[in-house]
Amino acid sequence: MSEPAPESIERYIEEQRALVDGELERLLPPAAEFPAVIHQAMRYSVFAGGKRLRPILCLESGRLFVAQDGLLPFAAAIELIHTYSLIHDDLPALDNDDFRRGKPTCHRAFDEATAILAGDALLTLAFEILSSCGRVSDARRILVIGDLSHAIGTRAGMVAGQVVDLETTGRPTDARTLEFIHSAKTGSLIRAAARAGALYVGAPDDDLARITLYGERVGLAFQIVDDLLDVFGSKESLGKTAGKDGRQRKATYPALHGVAESRRIAERLASEACEALEPYGPRAAKLCQIARYLIARKS
Ligand code: GRG
């Protein structure tokens, strides 16, 4: 599969990020709208930074099948769900973090009650957007909403991963449980983002299965790299506190498998993600390049 040079994929991702940011700006209530503090907090966390990986995957997977732009509000809604999860993950009762996306966390910049409500509000707004925006049949819209809801819930979804993560912190954790935590906590939303694009454009089952495999591999690889960055990254490069996993005695890939093996696993997963899309040839080059870019990232 012919792939664009890394510098061109970086430029492409930057362009897509700007597209998503424009849509987020359009969809979020203005900061001054009553009651202003909640809209300020929502906007603060959404626009604090962020790679916009999940919306970009959603857009790109839709484009693999059909050239269209009606998917943009769906992609932006996925970023709102992701930002909700970050705000709640940073709360004192969960990870108790002071920095996110290079800035004080939402509960530090505002207060804990506002941060909880801002997370709730972003999650709720996401589903309002998913149910009303875009140009898609009701049947496909419902498929995407159902799929995303499942991905962030308690049945092998994001909340399930977070719960098992909390339960296992400080305890010996086997490889299977660790894979479950990472795939559920982080992988399931990434997988659902990739699936959302394909579902939105009505991709047939065979195509959906390939995109699902791609999203699954990218999602797990992404969290393994996140574990590695926690060991080797700095607060400046990551925009969040580094070295926390070790201090909290969290189950991570480097802790269980070692650094070199964790990197090998992430690289193998990225290759498997690309292989899943081989039937599409050069059309899938961007998705493949994004998978490789994500495991080489430094933030
Ligand atoms: C309902 C209390 C409650 C919790 C919801 C918080 C939660 C469940 C789950 C946490 C999920 C989570 C935060 C997983 C970590 C995923 C991860 C690696 C996030 C960082 O993603 P990036 O690097 O961040 O894409 P940016 O800032 O670039 O968007």
164-169: long-range pairs with CB below 8 Å, 24+? 165/250, 165/251, 166/94, 168/251, 169/248, 169/249, 169/250, 169/251
How many A from CA of 85 to the centre of ligand 1?
5
Query: ∠235-241-246 over CA atoms, to 5°?
Result: 115
Q: What residue's CA is closest to ligand 1, atom 27?
A: 50
How many A from CA of 186 to the centre of ligand 1?
7
> According to the model, what pLDDT value does residue 235 have?
86
Q: For ligand 1, say whether the CB of 250 is within 6 Å of any of its atoms.
A: no
How many A from CA of 82 to the centre of ligand 1?
6
> According to the model, what pLDDT value does residue 269 have?
98
pLDDT, block means (10 residues), the chain with 299 residues: 66 97 98 98 97 97 89 97 98 96 97 98 98 94 98 98 96 96 98 98 97 98 97 88 88 96 98 98 97 93
Burial of residue 175 (CB within 10 Å: 0-12, 13-18, 19+) is: exposed
Q: For ligand 1, say whether the CB of 292 is within 6 Å of any of its atoms.
A: no
Q: For ligand 1, say whether the CB of 219 is within 6 Å of any of its atoms.
A: no
Q: For ligand 1, say whether the CB of 101 is within 6 Å of any of its atoms.
A: yes
Peptide bond between residue 104 and the one before it cis (omega within 30 degrees of 0): no
> According to the model, what pLDDT value does residue 114 have?
98
Burial of residue 275 (CB within 10 Å: 0-12, 13-18, 19+) is: middle
How many A from CA of 93 to the centre of ligand 1?
15
Q: For ligand 1, say whether the CB of 89 is within 6 Å of any of its atoms.
A: yes
Atom of ligand 1 nearest to the CA of 88: 6
Q: For ligand 1, say whether the CB of 88 is within 6 Å of any of its atoms.
A: yes
> According to the model, what pLDDT value does residue 234 have?
86
Atom of ligand 1 nearest to the CA of 91: 2
Burial of residue 243 (CB within 10 Å: 0-12, 13-18, 19+) is: middle
Q: For ligand 1, say whether the CB of 187 is within 6 Å of any of its atoms.
A: no
How much is the pTM?
0.96
- The structure tokens listed for 194 are 């990739």
Atom of ligand 1 nearest to the CA of 49: 27
How many A from CA of 26 to the centre of ligand 1?
23
